[in-house]
Structure 1
Amino acid sequence: MHCESGLYLRLYANPPEYLFLFDECTGIQALSRCAPDLYRNDHSQSRESHYNRNGTTNLIAFMHHGTGKVFGRCVTTHDTEKFIQVFLEHVRLQPKDKPLHYICDNYSTHYSQKVCEKVAELCNISSPKFNNGTERRKWLQSEDKRIVIHFLPFHGSWLNMIEIWFGILKEKTLDQGWFENTQALIIGIYDFIATWNDHYSHSFEWNYTGEGLQAVSVRRFNRLLKNECDQIDCSFLKSQLLLMKNIGSLYRERIPDEDWLYLTTLVKEKKTFIQDIITNSKKPKVKKWTHEAFIQLNEFLKLI
C-alpha cells in the first residue's frame, strides 16, 4: 500500500461537508435454502447448508461520511457506462453550489477517460486528453474544480469506510435472506438501505492513525523476498518496489535501522529472484513498469 494512506486518514479526521465514499459490491448471489431454517428452544438458529443459486446482482453504493446515509443502485453490470450513470444520478441529488468530494479505490472504471469527461462536464470546464491512468487519477484528484475524486492507495481498499457498511448489509440482509430470484434480492437490498437511512444511519468513527504501518510494510516485503515466494505477481511486485522507495523518501525516520538495512541487503541478494518475476511476466507493459520500479529502488538504495 502506498504511503498516501496518511492523506485519507487526515481527510477522515477533517472531512469536507460533502464527502462520500463509494464502491461496488459485485456478484451478490440470490440464494434460497433447500429447507427452511429451524429454531431451537434456546432461540438459536439451525440453517440448512445446501442452497440454490438464483442469479446475481451488483450494487454501486455511495455513503455520506458525516451522516452514514447510503445511496445505492443495483445494476446488471458494473462497467464504465453503468458507473457513470449511477455516479451522475448521485451528483444530481447534491446541492449544485457545493464542492463534492468522493473517495474510491483504483478500479479502472473509476478513472476512465469517459469519467474524466463527465466530471469536466459537471464542473463546467473542458476535459483534457490524458495519456494514461496516472494522469487521469491526478486530474480527478485536483482540487481546483467542484468535483474531486480521491483515490485510495493501491491495496488500500480497507481504508474505504463503505466496506464497513457492506459488512453490515451482508450480516443483516444477505446472509439472513431467502431470495428466490434476483428481483427479490434487489428488493431486499433496497429495503435494507431505506431502513438503514431512516433508523440506523450514523457516521463511522475512524480511530486508526497509521502509526507503525510503514515499518510493518517494510518487514512484510522483507519476508516475501527472504522466502522467495514464487506466487508473487509482477504487478504486485511493482507496487511493492515503488512503496519501498516512497517509504524511504517520506518516512525513513519511522523505520528501524535493522529493518531498512535488511531491505537493502535483500534487494541486492535477491536480484535474480526479482528479475525472474519480471522476465516471466506475460504482460509487456507491467514488465516494463516493474523493471523501471526496480531500477528506481536500486538507485534510491544506492545499489547502482
Structure 2
Amino acid sequence: MTGVQALERKYPDLPMQAGHVLRREFEYIRHGTLSRFINLDVVTGQVIEPSWGPTRTEEDALGHLQRLIESDQQARKWHIVLDNLNIHQSEALVRWIAEREGILAESLGIKGKHGILQSMESRAAFLHDPTHQVVFYYTPKHASWMNQVEIWLSILTRKLLKRGNFSSLDDLRRQILAFISYYNRTMAKPIKWTYQGTALLASLSRKSSLR
C-alpha cells in the first residue's frame, strides 16, 4: 500500500533526434494523490485485486483485505505479508478476523487498556495466529524490502511512473491498471531471491570480533 501523485508535464516532451536525446519538461501540474493497495501473488508473480482511493485509513485497508479474501471463496488458507503500518494491525482488522473465527467480541478486550486489542503488539500477535484461516506476517522494522510487493512497486515506478504523464487521477488509475494487465500477461513470474547474505554475515562477524 502506498500513494502516488498524478503529475502532468506542463509542456510536451521534445522527441529524440539525430544527435539529441529526448528532452523532458521539468515543470509539472499536480492533480492530487491516489492511494493504492497492491497485492502480489508470490506463487505466480501476478498482481491481484488492486484497490484505489483518495485516503488510506484503517477502514480503507480493511475493505481492501476483505475484497481480496472474498475474491477466492475456494481458498482454504491465506498467508498475507505486510509491513508494520498501524492500519495493518488495526482494531477493525482484529474484530473482522475474530468474527470470521467465531471469537466473541467481548473477549477481545479494550484498545489501549487490556486484552488482544490493547496494543499494536498484542493485535499483531493475534493476527499472526497460525490457526486462523487468514494469517498475517509482518516484516521487521526497517526491512520492508523483504516484502516482495516492494520489488514490484519499484518496477512500476521505473516502467511507468517515472516517465509518465497523467492528466488526472482517473488517467493515473487507468494507466496503472493497464500496466498491471500488461505485466500480468507478459512479465509476471515468481520472484526468486538471489542474495545469499554471505558478505553481510562476514561483516557482522568482523564487527563482533572487534568488540
Fold-level similarity (TM above 0.5) = yes
- 1:68 lines up with 2:45 in the alignment: yes
Give me the whole-angstrom Cα distance separating, in 2, the residues matched to 1:140 and 1:212. Answer: 34
Q: How does 1:252-291 map to 2 (within 5 A)?
A: 257-259=208-210, 261=211
Per the TM alignment, residue 213 of structure 1 is displaced from its structure 2 partner at its CA by 4.3
SS at match of 2:194: coil
8 A contact 1:67–1:201 mirrored in 2: yes
Aligned to 2:112: none
Give 1 or 2: higher helix fraction: 1
Aligned to 1:57: 34
SS at match of 1:153: coil
Aligned to 1:180: 167
- 1:36 lines up with 2:12 in the alignment: yes
Per the TM alignment, residue 182 of structure 1 is displaced from its structure 2 partner at its CA by 1.0
Aligned to 1:47: 24
What amino acid is aligned across from residue 31 of structure 1 in structure 2?
L
SS at match of 1:46: coil
8 A contact 1:123–1:147 mirrored in 2: no
Question: Which moved further from structure 2: 101-110 or 41-50?
Answer: 41-50
Per the TM alignment, residue 48 of structure 1 is displaced from its structure 2 partner at its CA by 1.1
Give me the whole-angstrom Cα distance separating, in 1, the residues matched to 2:68 and 2:181. Answer: 16
Aligned to 1:204: 191
What amino acid is aligned across from residue 198 of structure 1 in structure 2?
R
8 A contact 1:105–1:157 mirrored in 2: yes
Cα distance, 1:39–1:120 mapped onto 2, change above 3 Å? same
- 1:144 lines up with 2:131 in the alignment: yes
What amino acid is aligned across from residue 34 of structure 2 in structure 1?
T
Give me the whole-angstrom Cα distance separating, in 2, the residues matched to 1:255 and 1:138. Answer: 35
The match for 1:86 among 57, 60, 64 is: 64
The match for 1:190 among 177, 182, 185 is: 177
Cα distance, 1:185–1:97 mapped onto 2, change above 3 Å? closer
Per the TM alignment, residue 202 of structure 1 is displaced from its structure 2 partner at its CA by 1.2
8 A contact 1:33–1:178 mirrored in 2: yes
Identity rate, percent = 27
What amino acid is aligned across from residue 87 of structure 1 in structure 2?
L
- 1:156 lines up with 2:143 in the alignment: yes
Question: Which moved further from structure 2: 146-155 or 180-189?
Answer: 180-189
Aligned to 1:223: none
Give me the whole-angstrom Cα distance separating, in 2, the residues matched to 1:89 and 1:209. Answer: 36
Give me the whole-angstrom Cα distance separating, in 2, the residues matched to 1:170 and 1:120. Answer: 37
Give me the whole-angstrom Cα distance separating, in 1, the residues matched to 2:206 and 2:135. Answer: 32
Deviations 1:92-143 (A, max 9, x none): 1124441100111110000012111112223444453322111111111120
Give me the whole-angstrom Cα distance separating, in 1, the residues matched to 2:136 and 2:206. Answer: 31
SS at match of 1:120: helix
Cα distance, 1:116–1:37 mapped onto 2, change above 3 Å? same
> Number of matched residues?
200
Per the TM alignment, residue 199 of structure 1 is displaced from its structure 2 partner at its CA by 2.3
Cα distance, 1:125–1:179 mapped onto 2, change above 3 Å? same
Aligned to 2:158: 171
- Unmatched tracts of structure 2, length 5 or more: 110-115
- 1:109 lines up with 2:87 in the alignment: yes
Cα distance, 1:54–1:88 mapped onto 2, change above 3 Å? same
Give me the whole-angstrom Cα distance separating, in 2, the residues matched to 1:212 and 1:177. Answer: 37
Q: TM-score, normalized by length of structure 2? A: 0.86
Give me the whole-angstrom Cα distance separating, in 2, the residues matched to 1:76 and 1:214. Answer: 43
